[in-house]
Every structure is written in structure tokens, then in C-alpha cells.
Structure 1
Amino acid sequence: MNRLIIVLFALLAFQAGIAQNKIKIESAEELPKHYYDLQGNKAMDYINNRDLLLELAITLEKDLRDDLEKYDIQDKATLRGYHSNFSMIHFLKDDMKSALEEIEKGRKLTEKESDKYMYNFTLDEFIKTRLEYSDLQEDEFKEAFKANLSSVLESMPFEVVQEDIEGMTGSLDIAKPNLIQGMIEGQMQPIIDKAGKQVPKFIVLQILNAALTYDMYLPYVDEVYKPVFQTYYDNHHVDVVMVDIWKERDVSFKDDLDLDPVVIGIWDSGVDESVLPEENRWINGLEKRDGKDNDNNGFVDDINGVGFDLNGNKVTELLFPIKEKNSNYQQYEKYLKGLLDLQAMIKSDEADELKKYIVTLPPEEVNPFIENLNMYANFSHGTHVAGIACKGNPKAKIMAVRLTFPYENIPAPPTLENSTYWAKMYKNTVQYFEDNNVKVVNMSWGYSQNSYETRLAMNGVGENEEERKALAKKLFNTEKDAMYSAMKDAPEVLFVVAAGNSNNDVGFANNIPSGLKLSNLLVVGAVDIEGKETGFTTMGKGVDVYSNGYEVESYIPGGEKRKYSGTSMAAPQVVNLAAKIWAVNPDLSVAEVKDLIVKGATPSEENKDILLIHPQRSLSMIQ
């Protein structure tokens, strides 16, 4: 026995030595990047030529295997991605058993309850059916696959997977070959053309994913996926009554209460102040709409807030001038509503209109369509956030601060000039908050060093990975340092930020602002109306509290109301609570308000590390 223990300890020590020799990856920007010379081949060439596709897949697989040999990666979301990619590559290579092994490895790394069921389960069942019925003709295989897929779905608890099922079922109505081809030719190919011999890994993965889509997705949409998913949904959704925990937690103030006004900064894509109740609009009484800086504060016509364009220059418009870019933008509001309705399994005229439009959309018009949809989503985002932040609080005063984000699928590359302007913009914005007694700021956005490196690669900037990485780091840190110092130097302002929607770890992702470590910053994740984890929310020790971010109703520009989902909708729920706390007691410090929010929160029943805000409890604790 003693010898066995000694041998085991020796083995463990040896294994530890191996791990120590690997390069430890602490954050997402440290992950290895890979670039490929496609030798003049077009993206569609790989879809149409299997040998060419497999050659590319094998090259990528070697690089990914080498990554795991060379680097010590502990982040589960990243590792799940590796195993998902391996399963896809093995499938394309017709190595089905190895594909199943990789799916199982990835599933063991899932952290959310829904992911344990949903992780690559359609590919899993497709492969198992192929292996079980290898001699069947295609029509017979479809029936067997349909039966197996249905059986697996029926074994899943609907209340756990409902969000995923709704999204997947709704997307089936727009899964059309013309859409996939349009994305390949309109989004992937321009990047390949610009990148030359330095095509980034994510494009190669997209090509392989497209091939997988053509192989095991598109041919089975109408005869397998749609009837199976729809039947499962129809059989179970009527039996599941979601209990809204937020109704009994929420607090709504009346006008006759003795409350203090609280200025809320909505630092976002812009706000249509006209749709908010008049009592909720912040007004700079020293300014007129006359094209002049009447109060000499450096901003012209800042009656309800300030704006900055894509380059970080000051502008007077608090909303992105969408009419100048797309005179038909109101149609895209309908398309966006239709898309959201499809994903929520809601029957509507807008959903029907979107389905009909997608079917007739030529491949060359797919990219402009998606960009216009992105543009409208950006345009409406800030107004939706603002409506959530001031709901039920007549003393909330919404100040709009407009950022401008790119909406293009291939945005222009970042530059040092732009980053310098954005750094200045961050400092000017936070100073504006301080000068106007803003108590709490909502920041439902974020980005990373990796996103800048990706944009450089998409535009063919940089001779190699090292050059791109160095430039991306310089640009990102220029902005990050400015944001950090500005927020740190405003200790009397509470900054509430969205954790992110990438189903990953907030600390590993290292985005800004959610990755900043500041005493006056609060990071928010998203749950649904029952307080259960959403499939999209970013999580981790760096997330302070969670609130409802699933199908939250609020205003869009023009005054109508829509339901949006995301941590973008969860963060303003916490801002709303902070503003109500200060309305009751304006003398509380930022630390005291944070403490009331966190201490009032209650642990989730499914995960004790998830703290769900409880406005009633927090407000009742005010001394």
C-alpha cells in the first residue's frame, strides 16, 4: 500500500511538472492566434471541393492540437470551444466516433444546466443515427434521425431548455441556402480578399461551420428539425407556467412620495428622450437649442445630454442619424421585431413578413440586410435601456450620453488616432457626469483587445500576428487606461456595467468595462423571469449580481415598446434599484448603495453563487 501511495505521488508530481512546462493562459487576449494562406481559393471553393476543405480542416486541427499541448488553458468556455471545433472537424473527415468523443469532452465542461442538455446535441444525434443505421437510404435515414432526435428532446426538461428551444425553433424558419451563401460571399470572402496570406482562424472556422451546415443542417430543416422541434415545443410549453419572481421583488414609487431627484447617465448608443415620461428627462436649464454653447461647458445644445460620433468627436445629436444611412430604417424595425418574435415563438405579421423576405433575398443582398438590421439594433439599444432604468421612479432623471458603434460586418480598422480620441471622450464623458451630479451610470456595452486584433486582421492590417497583437494592445490599452483612470477619479459615481452575452467567464474575457477592478463599479449578469440562468449570460466571480435580462419590455425610438434580451437589459434593472435607493436617501455613499444592493440580493435556487437583486429587501435596509 505504501509503495502504491509513493508511486501515485510520483505520478502526480510528474503530471504537475508537465503542466508547469506549459504556458499558462490567464486571459482571452493571451490565447494563440492562427492565420492561413488560402492560396487564392475562394470561400465557396471549400464548400464545393471536399478535398480542399479537408486539407484546410486538417491544417487547422493540427494547430488546435498544438495549442492544447503548448498552453495551459483552464477556462472552461474556451476548452468547450476547442472540443466543439474538434467534433466538427472529425465529422467533416467522416471520423464519427472521434467526433462523438469530442462532444462528450465538451459536454463535461458545461457549467449551465441547459448546456448540459443542449451542447452540440443535434450533431451528437445525427452522428449516432449515422453509426446506428449506416446502410439506410437517405429518406429512411431522415425518418430514423427524426425519431432519435424526438426521443432525445422528449427526455429533456422543457423548463430548463425552453429558452434554447425557442431560439433554435424560431431560427429554422429563416435557415435558407441563399442566406448562408450570402453570408459566405458577402462577409467571409471580403475578409479573405483583404487578408491575403494572413486569413484569420475565425474565418477558417466559419468556412468549416458553413460546410457542416450544408451537410447536416440545411438538408434536414423541413423534414426533420422543424417538425421535431415544433412538436416538442407544442407538447410542453402549455404545461410550463413560468413564475415571475420579479413582481414580488419590485418596487414602484408614486409621485406623492417625499423623494429626491436622481440623475442617471445612460452611456449607450443614444436615447430618444421624447419617448420617456417628461418627469424622467434630465434637462440642462442653462442651455438652448440654438447651435451655441450657452453655458460654456464645451458642449453645444446639451439640453438632455451629449453625443459623440464614431471617431469620438462631439456631436449634438443624441440619436444616431439613421435616416442619413437608411431612409427605409422603419422597415428594419419591423424585421428586427419579426426576428425577435421568431426566436420567442410568437406568431406575428412581422415574423411572417420576415420569413417571406428572407426566402426571396438574393445572396448579394444578404450582407446589406444584416448590416441594416445591426444598424437599427444599435440605434434602438440606448432608448430601450433608458426606459428600464427609470421605470417606476418619477424622480429618475435620464441623461443621455451617446457613443457610436460600428454596425458593419467588416468595420474599419482601429487606429491610434481614433483610440486617442476615444480616450479623450471617456475622460470628457465622466467629467460631464461629475459636473452634473450624476449618481449612477449604465454601461450596457463592452469590447476587448481581441476584438481590436480581429478588426485589424479583417482589414489585412499588419504583416504578422506579432505586429497585429502589439498594435491591438497599444490601441486597447490607450482606451482602457483612460476609462479606468476617469472612472477611478469619479468615486462618487456608481458605474453599473453589463457582464456580456458570450456564455463565458467575465474575468477571463477581460473586456472593458466589465473587466475593470474598481470600487465604484458593479457588474451585472442576466437571468430570466424565474431567476434562472440565461443561456447567453457571461458569468464568473467578477459578476456581482444578476437581474432579469430575458424578454424585457421597454421603449424604442418613436415610442413603441419591444421586448429585448441580454445583459444589456439586466444592467439597467440594477441602475433602477440604485436610483431608487438614492431617491430615498441621497446622502448614501457609493459603497453604501453597492452594499445595500448586494446584501439585499438572494441566492438563486439553482446556483448559490448567483445573487438575484431584491429591490424590496434592499430598500427596506435603508437606515
Structure 2
Amino acid sequence: MLKLSVAIGVALTVLTVSNAANGQAKKEVRSIDDLPQFSYAVKGTVADILKSSPQAFEATVAPMRADIDRVLNDYDIHDTATLRGLLQAKLGAQIASGKEDKAALATIEQLRSHEEKPDARLITGLAPQAFLEARMADGTTPGTCPKSFQANYAKKLNALPWATVGVAETRLKGLAQVANATFMTGLAERDIAPTLDRSHTLSSLLAWKLMAARTNMDVVVTCRTEIATATNRYVDQHAVQKPDIWAARDVTLPPDAKLTPVPVAIWDSGFDASLFPGQLLLGTNKQPVMGPTYDIDYRPSHEPLAPLSAQDKASYPKVVAAANGVSDLQTGIDSPAAAAFRQQAATMSPAQMKDFMQTFDSSESYMHGTHVAGIAARGNPAIRLINARITYDTRPVPAPPTDDLQKRNAAAYRDTVAWFRAHHVRVVNMSWWNRPSNYEDDLERNGIGKTAEERKTLARHYFSIERDGLYAALKGAPDVLFVTIAGNNDSDNAFEETIPSSFKLPNLLVVGAVDQAGQRTNFTSTGQNIGVYADGYQVESVVPGGAKVRMSGTSMAAPEVTNLAAKILAVNPKLTPEQVIDIITRTSDAGESPTIRRINPKAALSSVMVHDDRANTTH
């Protein structure tokens, strides 16, 4: 939900290097498997490293920095997200050293010149650039903000076109208010500490995150007040929200129309069925039909929602309030919920922040399926929801993959899809994903594998079992339309082999996220097989218990498409998955580029009803 790259104004961009050392041809990197892997012995905790002296930090990251330079020089990487990770890590080391300010400015310019998204191309490295220029002009003491930073940053900010960067800067306005050292350290610890504390080693990806996090400490935390002041003024001076294109496109099917009930499965973390009266698939006993449900070990379960610990249950109401507070901060709304979250973040100790983030992750997973179901069901009295639950492992140290675990996972996919077919499910929403690097991370957190290369090999083995099982299951159900997410990693899903979004199947529709104005979000992943884009920015829906929460992500965009597909089938149930996909894509329109095809529910339903006059719609 919370995207730090936007919050701190240090967006990452692409770097391409044209010539390898000594005139040697570069090694091609066309998938994540082609990327070299490294492992580093690291002393101390995440907090200790992030607040260490420039000399101590430089010594810690020296081998990492050398490998980054070597990879950038010797490899031709065909993935922008990977290049951004490398360059952001390098920038963190350059800023921390205090001796490479000119080189750091050059890195920022390289990042900026290769960014594809219009807003990121303008705001990439804006705060670090202003910081470096001010430090070169003023000189400064480590841990203090240069005197001329605020004026320099404000000047750069005020020169930016609001129409392009307004959404990003509005998020920054609120998030800068909570970006203290505890908050930033807590974010880094959530990702890095479980591995570092256990094994005192870090693989490449975690090492890059550690280096990039230092920029947050050296620039964002140090100049937090100045960033917030300048950003607040910029936003308040313009204060014009982007137009919302979605209300005019929306379609609500009236309850008295002649519609065909459409069974739709929400394959997710489970949902609160009490919130959807009249929109559930009922059995012969007039009770809601439960689809397959599995626990964290892929064993059959009977619980409709992913279980919460006693501590998480007690904290759930506070997390719901915090979720709305974070959402309001991201949209620049000075609400009571936003104020409460600012106060909460300001008073937490590092340990409390770490615990809060773990609880937030668990509760967000608990809320996820219900939030998705609410989006999918909106405005459709003919939908008949089915709960098919999986369990996301949100523990700091998840269960390590094993052959038995992965075989049960693949079997669960097979049996769940077989159940869908047996119960005539027409549409399945899949707002989830996985990739090989997640397995590497799980192995590393559990201390499995002597080297990064060994973990890579093991990860590929375990991932292949899941990938092949899921692909076979989806391919074997040509009569079911599966709608899935592009992902929230601002990366190419084919390069990272993200599943299921990297699959190419005639009954699978992959969805990216745009904002309320129809412009591509900063977080949405990319890929040649993304069929359409839908609203995935601050989408309001219900969560267990009935509260309404706004969330962002391709997880919210996919059920917008599921919603449309179910409405199309309610009007014309004879359509095949391929025909529904054709209608949705054919009636979509181009956004900021021809490849950004935004759904248009009104146009899609009108197209269907030209050939079927059984239903009237209200708009």
C-alpha cells in the first residue's frame, strides 16, 4: 500500500551503458536467471548500519559497490527495474561518502534521462539533487540539512508542471510528515533485518536495498522539515486534483433487469460473506457455497478468512484506522485519521515501529480478499460470489520451501481450478503473484543455501513446481476467464517471470493500474501481455467488519475488470472467455500512450447490448 519511492521523491530510473570495459561484448541479461548473484558478510544491525559514520558505511558497502560497478559495466541488462535498483544503490553509497557529490549528480541525471513514466522522469532524484548541490555550495556537518537546501529544492519543485507531477507530489506532502528516522529505519528493517539478524549475510537484492535506504536517512530524514515545507507550499498553491474519469464510465445494472446470475470466484485471502447479501452463490440448502480453502501449508481448511493471531485481532481496529490515515496522507487530505497516524508514527520507538509494520502486513492480508470482493461485486445484482481462500505467509521468517510443500501447492492449484469448472464458475479474480526471487528471499531468511548461487538454483527448482502446476491448471480450464494483476513492482513481469501475469493464455487477462485520471501509476508493473489498465489508485471498498478503506495497487485494478466481465456475462451468458476479453480490450481506449489501454465499462456494455436487449442499464 505505501510506496516509499514516491514518498521520498527518490524515484529510480533506467541506466544503459553503451561500452563494456576493454571493448569486450557485454553479457546479455534477458531474465532474472541471467543476473549474477553475490553474497556479503555484514556486521551489525540494520539500524546501526543506517546511522553509521560515512567512513564506516563506506567500508560496509565497499564490496557491494564494486560488484554494482562491475555488473553495470559488464552486463547488458534488459530490465528497467533491475537497473533502477542498481543505480539507486550506487547513489546511496555516493551520497553517504560525502566525497562523490559530482558523481552522484551524474548518477541522478542518468537515472532521470532513462525514466519512462512522465512524472518519475521529472521528480527522480529531485531532493537528493537539491541536497547535493546545497552541500557543495554550503558545506555541511553530517546529519544536518544544508542551509540552501530548502530554497534550492523549492525552486526545482516550483518549476515542475502540476498536471504531470501533482499526484506524486500530493502523496509526498503527507508522507514527508511521517518520514522520521524511526519510520525509515522500520521500513528497512522489515525487509532486511530477518535475514541479517539470522545469518549476518546479505544477498545482492537485500544489499541494494540497504544501500538505497541510506539515501532516505542522509537526505529525506535529515531534510524532512524542509522537504515537507516546500512540498506543502507547492501542493497548496496548485491544489487542483486530477479529474476522475471513472464515474462517467461506470455502469450499474438495475436489479429488475433480465440478467443471468454469474458465478465469480474471488481466489484470495478470503472474504467476509456477511457484507454481500444477495450476491453470494447459494447451495441447495440456501447457504453460501464455499470454494476450496487452504491454510498456510496448502492443506484443506474450512475458515472463510485468513486467521489472525490474538494480538492482530486486538490491533485490527487500529490498523483499519491507520490504513485510512495512510491513504489520506497519500492523497494530501488532512483528516483526523491522517493526524492520528502522524502522531502514532512520531511517538513510536524503533521496536514499536517494527512490530506495527508486521501487524499492518498481517492485517492488510486479512483485509485484502474482502476489499477485492467489494470492488468486483459493485453495481451488479447478478454476481454470485464464491470464496476460494489461499493463505499468504506474512511472517518475518516464512516457512522454507520444500518439495512436499511445493507439490501440495501445485495440487491445490489443480484441485481448486477443477472445482471452479465443476461448479460452472465463469470468472476468477486472482489479485496475487509470485516470482523466483521471492523463493531466494525465503531461503535466505531461513539460512538455507551456502551461497547466493546455490539459493538461486534451489529457488528455481521450487518455483518451477509452482509455476508449472499453476500454468497447467489455468490452461486446463479454457471455459473459465481468469483475471490477474500485472504486479506492483514497476518492473517487467516477463523478465522477473512473475506468475501468473507472465503467462500467455487465451483465457487469462492481465491488468495494470492507472489513477483516477487514467494515467499509469508509479507502481504498476509492465509487460507485453498486459491486456488493459483499470483504476488502481485509492479505490474504496469494504474490509472484514464492514469498514470502508481506500487501497492502491493492481490488486484493486484487477477486480475492476472482473466486475466488468461479470456484468458482460450477466447480459450475455453465451460469451466465451476469449469473446469477453475481446470486448473488454476492443472497447478500451488509449491513455498516455497507445499501449496503455484503459477499460471503458459503458462502451463495453453498450457493445454487448447492441446484440442483446434483455437488460437496461443505469449510468
Counterpart AA for 1:118: I
Contact 1:322 1:379 in 2 (8 A): yes
Alpha-carbon distance in 1 for matches of 2:256, 2:47: 65
Q: Cα–Cα, structure 1 residues 587 and 210, in superposed 2: closer, same or farther, change >3 Å? A: closer
Shift of 1:17: 13
Output aligned runs, 1:97-112, within 5 Å: 97-112=102-117
Match of residue 248 from structure 2: 248
Match of residue 145 from structure 1: 149
What is the CA deviation profile of residues 441-494 of structure 1, one whole-angstrom value per residue up to 9, with x for unaligned ones? Answer: 111110101111111112211111232112111111111111000110000001
Secondary structure of the residue aligned to 1:509 is: coil
Matched, 1:616 2:602: yes
Output aligned runs, 1:260-339, within 5 Å: 260-276=260-276, 278-285=277-284, 303-322=289-308, 324-328=310-314, 329-339=316-326
What are the ranges of 5 or more consecutive residues in structure 1 without an aligned counterpart? 1-13, 289-301
TM-score, scaled relative to structure 2: 0.90
Q: Cα–Cα, structure 1 residues 16 and 364, in superposed 2: closer, same or farther, change >3 Å? A: closer
Contact 2:176 2:224 in 1 (8 A): yes
* 1:600 maps to which of 587, 590, 596: 587
Alpha-carbon distance in 2 for matches of 1:241, 1:287: 46
Secondary structure of the residue aligned to 2:176 is: helix
Alpha-carbon distance in 2 for matches of 1:59, 1:339: 37
* 1:231 maps to which of 212, 233, 237: 233
Alpha-carbon distance in 2 for matches of 1:60, 1:193: 19
* 1:205 maps to which of 200, 203, 208: 208
* 1:125 maps to which of 130, 137, 140: 130
**Structure with greater Cα Rg:** 1
Q: Cα–Cα, structure 1 residues 346 and 410, in superposed 2: closer, same or farther, change >3 Å? A: farther
Secondary structure of the residue aligned to 1:173 is: coil
Output aligned runs, 1:149-160, within 5 Å: 149-160=153-164
Match of residue 504 from structure 2: 517
Q: Cα–Cα, structure 1 residues 548 and 419, in superposed 2: closer, same or farther, change >3 Å? A: same
What RMSD over aligned residues (CA atoms) do the two structures have, in Å? 2.4
Q: Cα–Cα, structure 1 residues 33 and 163, in superposed 2: closer, same or farther, change >3 Å? A: farther
Alpha-carbon distance in 2 for matches of 1:29, 1:367: 32
Shift of 1:58: 2.4
Greater mean alpha carbon deviation, residues 265-274 or residues 551-560: 551-560
Contact 2:143 2:218 in 1 (8 A): no
* 1:385 maps to which of 343, 367, 372: 372
Matched, 1:194 2:210: no
Contact 2:138 2:147 in 1 (8 A): no
Counterpart AA for 1:382: G
Output aligned runs, 1:32-43, within 5 Å: 32-38=36-42, 40-43=43-46
Alpha-carbon distance in 2 for matches of 1:209, 1:75: 18
Q: Cα–Cα, structure 1 residues 109 and 147, in superposed 2: closer, same or farther, change >3 Å? A: same
What is the CA deviation profile of residues 70-125 of structure 1, one whole-angstrom value per residue up to 9, with x for unaligned ones? Answer: 32212223223322222222222220111111111111211111111111211111
Matched, 1:375 2:366: no
Match of residue 48 from structure 1: 52
Alpha-carbon distance in 2 for matches of 1:181, 1:519: 45
Shift of 1:175: 1.8
What are the ranges of 5 or more consecutive residues in structure 2 without an aligned counterpart? 1-17, 612-619
Alpha-carbon distance in 1 for matches of 2:195, 2:20: 42
Match of residue 67 from structure 1: 71
Secondary structure of the residue aligned to 1:386 is: helix
TM-score, scaled relative to structure 1: 0.90
Match of residue 214 from structure 1: 217
Q: Cα–Cα, structure 1 residues 148 and 597, in superposed 2: closer, same or farther, change >3 Å? A: same
Shift of 1:210: 4.0
Counterpart AA for 1:205: W
Matched, 1:441 2:423: no
Contact 2:93 2:214 in 1 (8 A): no
Shift of 1:45: 4.3
Secondary structure of the residue aligned to 2:248 is: coil
Shift of 1:388: 0.9
Greater mean alpha carbon deviation, residues 502-511 or residues 108-117: 502-511
Alpha-carbon distance in 2 for matches of 1:533, 1:84: 22
Matched, 1:115 2:120: yes
Match of residue 9 from structure 2: none
Alpha-carbon distance in 2 for matches of 1:586, 1:275: 26
Contact 2:436 2:496 in 1 (8 A): no
Alpha-carbon distance in 2 for matches of 1:550, 1:312: 32
Contact 1:268 1:402 in 2 (8 A): yes
Q: Cα–Cα, structure 1 residues 434 and 101, in superposed 2: closer, same or farther, change >3 Å? A: same
Contact 1:182 1:362 in 2 (8 A): no
